[in-house]
Amino acid sequence: MVEVRFPNGDKKEFEQGVLLLDVAKSISEGLARNVLGAVVNEEIKGLQEPVMEDADVRFVKFDDDEGKQIFWHSSSHLMAAAIEKLYPGVKFAIGPSTDSGFYYDIDSDHVFTPEDLEKIEAKMKDIVGQGLELERVEIPRNEALDLFKDREDIYKVEIISELPEDELITLYKLGDFVDLCRGPHLLDVKKIKAVKLLSIAGAYWRGDEKNKMLQRIYGVSFEKQKDLKKYVNMIEEAKKRDHRKLGKELDLFSIKEEGPGFPFFYPKGMIIKNELEDFWKGLHIREGYGEIKTPLILNEDLWHRSGHWDHYQENMYFTQIDEEDYAIKPMNCPGSMLVYKSKPHSYRELPIKLAELGFVHRHELSGALHGLFRVRAFTQDDAHIFMLPSQIKDEVKDVMRLADEIYSVFGFKYRVEISTKPEDSMGSQEDWDRATEALEEAVEELGLDYKINEGDGAFYGPKIDIQLEDSMGRPWQCGTIQLDFQMPERFELTYIDENNEKQRPVMLHRALYGSIERFMGILIEHYAGNFPVWLAPVQATLIPVNMDLHFDQVREIEKRLVAEGIRVELDSREEKMGRKIRDSQIMKVPYQLVFGDKELEEGTVSVRRHGEKKTSEMSIDEFIAQIKREIKDKEQN
């Protein structure tokens, strides 16, 4: 017998091997019809899977993240089954769920087009109409190898060949379609009522550019057509907000062929970047951080000491100086270690907080590059806090409060995850357990909900990941707080305690923007380019009604506004006033200031706010006071 424990505290006993479907039915037939799967001892499973040991069981629906994973993973198999029907002979690699849908990587002589996606969608709908079950089968490894060798499915054969010889291999069948997969999956495909295949991209097998380029088809699916319609509308809105498109239109930045992954920032883009950095610097001065700057290039020995050589080498760039090997820094932390170590420290000094807007370089695959979201050179808003073990909880809480202050300025909601020890890690299990417990206690004392992200910590310590939610409800991974017992050990960092003994400090790595470039890209999409006044590259456009009569006086007003610290542009083109207003609105300038005879005689201005049709009259002094207040208070639009 096995004991099953439910979230409400109830317990039930079942025969060992009972299917999760039958566990759900024991509660109610309605529940069994509506749920998609379950989380069993923190592992996501399909209803067709057995319970083999005592377990905590929580059933999930589409509204749950785990339910979406099951639904979208099953949809990827449904898509593969449809593709196999339409294009016999294709080879399938992997087809997982993602945070926003699913994809499948395909090896095919046929080059897929957008028109093909419609055919595949139609075939998927046909299969759904047949109500086919997703049958789970376990077979010995050698039988699985023979099966996929007979099908000449080289990718599945490669995956199976790497598994232990005594391991049972899980397959899922959907009609005639058979796929290698651990699951979890839906019981059947009848719930997949609405599907949209979104795009086609290239992807190297296993992400290695030395391997063959496959075709990746992305899609999304829902239980209801209305939810798909809502999602498609959001996708259309997202296209309008695409930071690459707006970055070009608003003259902010570009990525050029001469430097793939290396952004070029233009004057207007640099204004936004500098405002973000100045805001960050002001807060860190207030919070007692000392700003540092460490070298871009440091010798190989340093990266061996830090552990990056063993754990991060494939993402680094290298060079030689005076016949010695050097690396361009992918992270700022080793430099910060050297700054701390440059002189002795007393326990009375701790915590010591060192902040750095450090420019780093990382070798990203060309296929992964994406505007400002994934680049090869970027500015990390790093800080490293060296502290006593007794200070860990308070320092983590202080960083979380600072993060909350920063994100609220931009109107972001956020959620928190704690990522635990990965397979490739340094240090003892005891250190990892101690560090993870400290992060959990800090977050709990702040009253924040969080979830555990197993195995996704940094190689040197567990971390808090902060996901922002933008104005469209989309999640963005930005802030991270990483607790580290390993680096102080590797760099032999010390402080003198109250007994005049040398002790090892604990270290906190943290970035709150994540990177200035990526955060800027997120803001462009979050605001759809319509930045609040304090961030806007141009805060007001000055428009003379008649260039011959009014230009000289408006030029003097321009000088006054600039002297007040307001970023303005005087539109001196020989165009009609309406065209100038419209063009300023297109460029998303917060204010259009129109000056004619009346305004110049009375010392007033006709003010129009971006996105509004009405105008208001006020004195120049009133406008200056209003806009300076908005800038100072960092008001949202």
Q: What is the dihedral of CA 359, 363, 367, 370, to 10 degrees?
A: -10
Q: CA neighbours within 13 Å on the CB side: how many for 239? A: 6
Q: Which of 362, 421, 588, 608 is catalytic?
A: 362
Q: Which of 333, 484, 588, 592 is catalytic?
A: 333
Handedness of CA 261, 266, 270, 273 (dihedral sign): negative
Q: Which of 68, 73, 136, 384 is catalytic?
A: 384
Residue 350: DSSP 8-state:
P
Q: Which of 105, 188, 381, 382 is catalytic?
A: 382
Q: Which residue has the tokens 């050179």?
A: 377
Quick one: which of 248, 165, 317, 243 has its CA closest to 520? 243
Q: Which of 48, 69, 215, 380 is catalytic?
A: 380
- Cis, bond preceding 184 (omega within 30 deg of 0): yes
Instruction: Enter the tokens of residue 615.
Output: 């105008």
Q: Is 113 helix (H, G, I), strand (E, B) or coil?
A: coil
Say if CB 459 and CB 425 are below 8 A apart: yes
Handedness of CA 354, 358, 362, 366 (dihedral sign): positive
- Residues pairing with 56 in the sheet: 5
Amino acid, res. 154: I
Q: Which of 185, 509, 510, 580 is catalytic?
A: 509
540-544 and 568-570 beta bridge pairing: parallel
Residue 563 CA: distances (Å) to CA of 290, 316, 556, 624: 31, 45, 11, 11
Say if CB 421 and CB 456 are below 8 A apart: no
415 is catalytic: no
Say if CB 559 and CB 506 are below 8 A apart: no
Question: Which distant-in-sequence residues (6+ apart) come within 8 Å of 298 by Cβ?
Answer: 326, 327, 329, 334, 335
Q: CA neighbours within 13 Å on the CB side: how many for 366? A: 8
**For the chain, what's the residue count?**
637
Say if CB 54 and CB 14 are below 8 A apart: no
463 is catalytic: yes
Say if CB 454 and CB 42 are below 8 A apart: yes
Say if CB 58 and CB 8 are below 8 A apart: no
333 is catalytic: yes
119 is catalytic: no
Instruction: Enter the tokens of residue 165.
Output: 């010889």
380 is catalytic: yes
Say if CB 37 and CB 60 are below 8 A apart: yes
Sort residue 223 into left (φ over 0), alpha (ψ -120 to 50) or beta: alpha
Q: Which residues are catalytic?
A: 333, 362, 380, 382, 384, 463, 509
